[in-house]
Amino acid sequence: MFTFGVDYYPEHWPEERRAEDARLMAEAGFNLVRLAEFAWSRLEPREGVFDFEWLDRAIAILAGHDIQVVLGTPTASPPPWLMDRSAELFLVREDGRRATFGNRREYCPNNPVYHDYTRRIVTQMAEHYAGCPSVVGWQIDNEFGARCFCPICRTAFQEWLRRRYGSLDELNTRWGAVFWSHEYTGWEQIPVPVETGGSPNPGLALDFYRFASDSYVDYQRMQVDILREKCPDHFVAHNFMGFGYDRIDYFDLARDLDLVAWDIYPRGFWDVRAEVEPSGAALSADTMRGLKHQNFWAMEQQAGPSGWETVGGTPRPGELRLWAYQSIAHGADAVVFFRWRTCRFGTEAYWHGLLDHHGIPGRRYEEIRRMGAEIKRIGEQIHGAAIKPEVAMALSYESRFAFQIQPGHPQFSYAEHFRHIYRALHGRNVPVDVVAPTDDLSSYSLVIAPALHVLSEADVGNLARFVEAGGVLVVTSRTGVKDEHNAVVNQRLPGLLAELCGVVVEEYDALPEGECNELEFVCPGLAGRDASASIWCDVLNSTGATVVARYAQSYYAGEPAIALNEVGAGRVVYVGTFGDAILWSTLVDWLIALAGVKPLLAAPEGVEVTERWQRDRRLLFVLNHTAEEQEVVLDTAGVNLLDGGSVVEGAVAIAPRDVLVILEEQQEEEII
């Protein structure tokens, strides 16, 4: 069964409304709701007094319409009676100021008292709902995040360091604590990198960011363990924030979970752009799928204009359905919309649901009801279908953390660099997996590893194995600069990857904002193309690689900027600059040709094409993100599942913001 649902807050509305809500939900085709993830003050109204009756009644009404339930543990929004116990329950922000009551996500993830209350509410809920036939799974907390710099975290950080380094001598050496006389003679002297401490030691700061990430992984595991013990038949998930969120190592956070759930708002917070860039949600979806190398749930799929204090742009007719199909096209096996009805009060009174404040169904409800009917018909044929790209991009949270500490250039953003490359692939309809640098790469032909700044022996070993097996690897500037303690390596760059790349960086030049250095391509296939280097220029010296492009300007005019190294059956391309969209657009054409990767389909701009595989049957998704009718030329025949019509090779029109889901004709099995 394909899960199609909505996030529901019955506690925000009079009880008399619930039957009508459930009826309208069923009519929209919803078979699941997420409940209770912010309802702590109703579930435990006073310390130690638990009340599940209201939730039981809500679940029973939904069950009457065959609507199942995912329950959220409510720990993202602790009630005042709990937070009033002690100021220490609140997290301390990077500026050194302690949070106060009034929002959510304001707790310290290492506070032992908070842990006790967490264990108690989670245990109570788990015991109460273990046998409830409507409940299928759990979402832990809500969108983990925010580093805490409080004294409790400081002590826990010191313990974490003791386990990591064993001795202060080792720690002082790895961090280079001799610099500015930071050598520690007691663990309790070690600070946390709050702003009042100024620019921190990079080794200390990177370890603290790792520790802060681990804090949420550990806090989540505490809840996972309870739920697994009490509710062995239920799945356990957490709702992640896509590619953009960079304070937790999402690969680590996903490890203890059964599935990754994702919150997706293509026309996001206070966003009033006329056009939404489809590659944004696509990259996030591919990242979410990569965390566990499995399909994911869209747990909060945009249902209306977003907004807290101000209102973002209204999704155009067709966009909500289109975006939901985009999630599915990238591997969602469930779509749950956020939220059912727009709340009349509270901080999110302008974050619109499917129904407006008044609760009367309108355009958005009708659009999703239409989709619900489609999903009922076709969901089973899509559910579980796999995505099998030939291209991977390696995402390193370690490097991301390190760049937060020392970006190296005021205009450099790891995320933007990553997006530039992804966007070029996406624009050609080349499917991409986003993977960790140490993941198994054997199924890919092309792996792009942007700015692997913090590089380990394990990363290098894995990348080398991929190249030796015949793969094409792409490495970019600022790779291999740091060891795992965030100290600069004692080697010529790109450090541990220099040999594989067949180049060394002789010098580098940080370019002023807006300044470029023209590139002159000297290799067949690229000669004559225009592109330029920006932000950063590595001046390369080949130790075996063939020059692909040279700089045309400045004192290093004529020196190599991009080079290609043949390694056994494989190849490594070193791109010594970050460059602009034009550079990556140019390079991507050449790189996919080099790796023998073909785009799924040539399509007009704004038309996205993806594929999923139901065993050996191919499903082709064609999504028209534009406001005009578009035409694509299909190279296959099949059935458009959405209307049951057959499609044949050749031109097919696709209406504005419409979708085709083509189940390819079964290839006749050869009879021998």
Q: Which of 88, 348, 499, 518 binds ligand GLA (CB under 6 A)?
A: 348
CB of 352 to ligand GLA, least distance (A): 10
Per CB under 6 A, the list member of 106, 143, 252, 286 interacting with ligand GLA is 143
Q: Are 31 and 362 in contact (CB under 8 A)?
A: no
Nearer to ligand GLA, 311 or 652 (CB): 311
Give the burial string for 562-574 (b: 16+ CB within 10 Å, else e): bbbbebeebbbbb
Whether 143 is a known active-site residue: answer yes
CB closer to ligand GLA out of 4 and 351: 351
Active site includes 229?
A: no
Minimum CB separation of residue 104 from ligand GLA in Å reads: 8
* Measured CA distances, 651 to 211, 395, 579, 661 (Å): 54, 37, 36, 15
- Whole-angstrom CA distances from 254 to 213, 262, 415, 541, 629 are 12, 11, 20, 41, 40
502: which 2 tokens?
């067949």
Cβ 375 to ligand GLA, closest distance in Å?
22
Residue nearest ligand GLA, Cβ-based? 263
Q: Smallest distance from the beta carbon of 307 to ligand GLA, in angstroms?
A: 8
CB 355, min distance to ligand GLA, A: 16
Among 106, 263, 286, 367, which residue interacts with ligand GLA (rule: CB under 6 A)? 263
Is position 351 an interface residue for ligand GLA (rule: CB under 6 A)? yes
Q: Are 578 and 571 in contact (CB under 8 A)?
A: no
Pick the closer one to ligand GLA by CB: 351 or 422: 351
Any idea what the Cα angle at residue 631 is, between residues 625 and 633, rounded to 5°? 120
Q: What would the two tokens of residue 508 be?
A: 């580098």
- Tokens 């101000």 locate to 310
Task: Choose, by CB under 6 A, the member of 21, 249, 300, 439 that binds ligand GLA.
Answer: 300
Q: Does 142 bind ligand GLA (CB under 6 A)?
A: yes
Which amino acid appears at position 612 of this protein? Answer: R
* CB 177, CB 189: distance < 8 Å: no
Size of the site for ligand GLA (CB under 6 A): 8
Q: Compare residues 59 and 264 and give the one whose CB is closer to ligand GLA.
A: 264
**DSSP secondary-structure letter at 337?**
E
Q: Which of 37, 106, 300, 398 is catalytic?
A: 300
In the complex with ligand GLA, the residue whose CB is nearer, 343 or 549, is: 343
Query: Which one, of 570, 573, 568, 569, lies nearest residue 545 by Cα?
Result: 573
* CB crowding 199-227: b at 16 or more within 10 Å, else e: ebbbbbbbbbbbbbbbbbbbbbbebbebb
Query: What are the structure tokens assigned to 492, written together?
Result: 């010529």
187 close to 155: Cβ distance less than 8 angstroms: no
The footprint of ligand GLA on residues 222-251 (CB under 6 A) is: 239
Q: Between 243 and 351, whose beta carbon lies closer to ligand GLA?
A: 351
Q: How far is CA 311 from CA 102, 275, 383, in A?
A: 21, 16, 34
Catalytic residue (one of 143, 398, 559, 664): 143
Please, what is the minimum distance in Å from the beta carbon of residue 253 to ligand GLA? Answer: 15
**Min CB(300)–ligand GLA separation in Å:** 5
In this structure, are residues 206 and 486 in contact, taking their beta carbons and an 8 Å threshold? yes
Do 248 and 145 meet the contact criterion of CB atoms below 8 Å apart? yes
Question: Which residues are registered as beta bridge partners of 6?
Answer: 33, 337
Q: Read off φ and ψ for residue 504, nearest 5 degrees.
A: -125, 155
Longest dimension (CA), the chain: 79
**Residue 588 in tokens:** 């991507």
Phi-psi region of 176 (alpha: psi -120 to 50; beta: other; left: phi over 0): left
For the bound state, the minimum distance from the C-beta of residue 38 to ligand GLA, rounded and expressed in Å, comes to 7
Smallest distance, Å, CB 551 to ligand GLA? 29
Is the CB of residue 563 less than 8 Å from the CB of residue 401? Answer: no
Cβ atoms < 10 Å from Cβ of 516: 18
Q: Which parts of this chain interact with ligand GLA (CB under 6 A)?
A: 142-143, 239, 263, 300, 338, 348, 351
- Annotated catalytic residues are 143, 300
